[in-house]
């Protein structure tokens, strides 16, 4: 039977399925629960320097092919969040996700995450709808270089920038690799909106939201494929992985590990367990001896 395990930037993910930021990532209890339910690692909700209430409701809407959300980066601020991290009993890697609008804040947040025991830091350069944060930072190549270089210089744990889907993934990937990143997470949600036909009005309180779920899988696969062929650091794929088959497609595109978010909505809290079993069954059926045999297969 194939054993699902990846070593990436000095960390072991077993299975290589990691809870994505934004879902069940607010408390030590929920993060531990996700590990109990089969995740090989977890990413916290994105945390900033100060507390934020988030966007007005409605902040989430189910569309036929996925989910739109515009939570607005609600979080208690780094100091409160670090108290929560203190309660986390790690037996799998925990990745601290941070967001900010400038380099100094990214560095400060990452150092605090490291001081409170995270195994790695994820830089949210890709939230699609928070003015001044996320993708508005991630689309400024000079700023991205500066942020990544300085965070890498100031912490000892691995640093994983999370990129937005862009038509050109090559330039940004090479910039973050040059800046010293230890891996790239691709992709975050896709900027989108829903309109209520009856009222003729946008559905989300914030108008725009981030699209996730099955509908974005082809976008994620293309981005992972492009990142894999442009850099030598590992790619952590994300975007619409709902079944074991989806997961294997992402490994074939070049992922070394995957993040799961919306799949928890579609498959339940034990989504990782279900996806792992499906992956093993498919790999065994095809006669593969290890996951490594299929990583990047689509590039041959
Ligand atoms: C939010 C943040 C994200 O990075 C994302 O992809 C979607 C939503 C948020 O908190 O609103």
Alpha-carbon span 294 to 180, nearest angstrom: 26
pLDDT at 10 over 90: yes
What pLDDT is recorded for position 258?
Answer: 98
**Is 127 one of the catalytic residues?**
yes
Q: Could you tell me the fold of the domain covering 6-53+72-191+212-299?
A: TIM Barrel (3.20.20)
CB-hemisphere CA count at 13 Å for 151? 38
Average pLDDT, the chain: 97
pLDDT band at 90 (very low <50, low <70, confident <90, very high): confident
What pTM did the predictor assign? 0.98
What pLDDT is recorded for position 61?
Answer: 98
Atom of ligand 1 nearest to the CA of 134: 4
Provide mean pLDDT across the span 97-113: 98
Domain residue ranges in the chain: 6-53+72-191+212-299
pLDDT tens for 159-215 read 999 999 999 999 999 999 999 999 999 999 999 999 999 999 999 999 999 999 999
pLDDT at 131 over 90: no
Measure 127 CA to ligand 1 centroid, in angstroms: 5
Contact 49, 191 (CB under 8 A): no
pLDDT at 8 over 90: yes
Ligand 1, residues at Cβ distance < 6 Å: 22, 46, 69-73, 124, 126-128, 134, 188-189, 210
Provide mean pLDDT across the span 137-159: 96
Substitution candidate for ligand 1 out of 75, 97, 188, 239 with most atoms within 8 A of CB = 188
């Amino acid at each position: 039977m194939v054993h699902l395990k990846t070593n990436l930037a000095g960390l072991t993910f077993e299975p290589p399925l990691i809870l994505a930021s934004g879902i069940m990532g607010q408390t030590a209890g929920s993060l531990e629960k996700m590990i109990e339910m089969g995740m090989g690692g977890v990413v916290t909700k994105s945390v900033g320097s100060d507390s934020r209430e988030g966007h007005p409701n409605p902040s989430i809407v189910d569309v036929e092919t996925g989910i739109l959300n515009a939570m607005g980066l609600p979080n208690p601020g780094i100091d409160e969040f670090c108290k929560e991290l203190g309660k986390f009993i790690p037996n799998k890697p925990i990745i601290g996700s941070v967001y900010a609008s400038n380099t100094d804040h990214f560095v400060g947040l990452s150092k605090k995450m490291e001081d409170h025991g995270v195994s790695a830091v994820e830089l949210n350069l890709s939230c699609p709808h928070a003015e001044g944060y996320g993708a508005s930072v991630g689309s400024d190549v000079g700023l991205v270089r500066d942020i990544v270089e300085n965070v890498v210089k100031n912490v000892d744990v691995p640093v994983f920038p999370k990129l937005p889907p862009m038509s050109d993934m090559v330039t940004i990937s090479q910039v973050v690799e040059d800046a010293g990143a230890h891996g790239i997470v691709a992709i975050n949600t896709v900027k989108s909106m829903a309109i209520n036909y009856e009222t003729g009005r946008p559905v989300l309180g914030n108008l725009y939201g981030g699209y996730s779920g099955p509908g974005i899988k082809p976008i994620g696969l293309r981005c992972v494929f492009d990142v894999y062929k442009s850099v030598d650091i590992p790619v952590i794929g994300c975007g619409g992985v709902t079944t074991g088959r989806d997961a294997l497609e992402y490994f074939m595109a070049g992922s070394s590990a995957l993040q799961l978010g919306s799949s928890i909505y579609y498959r339940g809290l034990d989504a990782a367990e279900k996806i792992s079993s499906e992956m093993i069954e498919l790999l065994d059926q095809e006669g593969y001896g290890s996951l490594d045999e299929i990583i990047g297969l689509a590039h041959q």
